């Protein structure tokens, strides 16, 4: 999957692509998802600094923009952080609001099932190889045995495969879960593989673990 970076000569078109994905995702869901996506979309169009990837706005101002109370703002912003769509870049201090950002990769991953509703041209435009793929060394694993069971790792595997099949085959499929107390330990086939996962893909693994089990704890990669 191609990760959109709304910079450069085609920045305006890329922004429309991101907003289109968000709105299509919202419309494909229930009223709660629709309302959450609408609120985020309004916040992005009104207050998000695309170039700096910064959203600096207080809860009172958000409440006025959304026509809700501040309690609702706290709840919905917490939900957006849990989804991984909004990240805290700098925690607010006394007299200063927090500086937030958007995880565009996570947004596009989560909205991907609704892309077809926009049209095949959009799907083709957003397609392509995963940006994380190493240019020189890309391990491909074929005919790997499936991991059966209802445990955390089998559920995470299913989620990660659904998000990006090519990336899953290259980096997540060969991981083996090991028994241990607290958190999830995953054994990688090599030290290089483990280092690459820790450097580039820990966010994917941590989010998958949280979505499969909010009390899963820390994910560890072992060489």
Structural domain total, the chain: 2
The reported pLDDT for the residue numbered 93 is 76
Residue 158 is assigned to a structural domain of this protein: yes
pLDDT single digits (tens) 166-219? 889 988 999 999 866 677 899 999 989 999 898 888 888 988 888 888 888 888
Residue 116 is assigned to a structural domain of this protein: no
Residue 147's domain is classified under what CATH number?
A: 3.30.300.180
Residue 121 is assigned to a structural domain of this protein: no
Q: Do 105 and 154 share a structural domain? A: no
Residue 6 is assigned to a structural domain of this protein: no
With helix as H, strand as E and coil as C, how does the chain read? CCCCCCCCCCHHHHHHHHHHHHHHHHHCCCHHHHHHHHHHHHHHHHHCECCCCEECCCHHHHHHHHCCCHHHHHHHHHHHHHHCCEEEEECCCCCCCCEEEECHHHHHHHHHHHHHHHCHHHHHHHCCCCCCCCCCCCCCCCCCCCCCCCCHHHHHHHHHHHHCHHHHHHHHCCCEEECCCCCEEEECCCHHHHHHHHHHHHHHHHHHHHHHCCCCCCEEEEC
Of the listed ranges 130-134, 159-163, 164-168, the one predicted with least confidence: 130-134
pLDDT single digits (tens) 45-78? 999 999 899 999 999 999 999 999 999 999 999 9
Residue 2 is assigned to a structural domain of this protein: no
For 56, the domain range is 11-109
- Report residue 215: phi and psi, to 5°: -100, 20
The reported pLDDT for the residue numbered 27 is 95
pLDDT single digits (tens) 90-107? 887 777 888 999 998 889
The reported pLDDT for the residue numbered 97 is 86
pLDDT single digits (tens) 138-155? 444 444 445 556 788 999
Could you tell me the pTM of the whole model?
Answer: 0.69
């Amino acid at each position: 999957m191609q990760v959109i970076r709304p910079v450069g000569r085609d920045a305006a078109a890329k922004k429309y692509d991101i907003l289109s994905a968000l709105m299509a995702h919202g419309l494909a869901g229930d009223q709660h998802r629709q309302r959450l996506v609408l609120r985020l979309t309004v916040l992005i169009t009104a207050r998000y600094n695309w170039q700096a990837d910064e959203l600096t706005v207080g809860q009172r101002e958000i409440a006025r923009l959304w026509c809700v109370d501040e309690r609702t703002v706290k709840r919905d912003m917490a939900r957006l952080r849990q989804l991984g769509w909004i990240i805290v870049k700098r925690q607010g201090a006394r007299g200063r609001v927090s500086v937030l950002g958007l995880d565009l990769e996570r947004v596009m991953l989560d909205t991907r099932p609704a892309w077809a509703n926009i049209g095949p041209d959009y799907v083709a435009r957003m397609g392509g190889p995963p940006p994380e793929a190493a240019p020189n060394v890309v391990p491909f694993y074929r005919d790997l045995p499936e991991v059966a069971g209802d445990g955390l790792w089998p559920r995470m595997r299913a989620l990660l495969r659904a998000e990006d099949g090519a990336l899953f085959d290259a980096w997540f499929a060969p991981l083996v879960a090991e028994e241990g107390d607290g958190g999830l330990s995953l054994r990688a086939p090599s030290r290089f593989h483990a280092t690459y996962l820790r450097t580039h893909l820990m966010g994917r693994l941590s989010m998958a673990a949280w979505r499969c089990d909010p009390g899963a704890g820390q994910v560890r990669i072992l060489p």
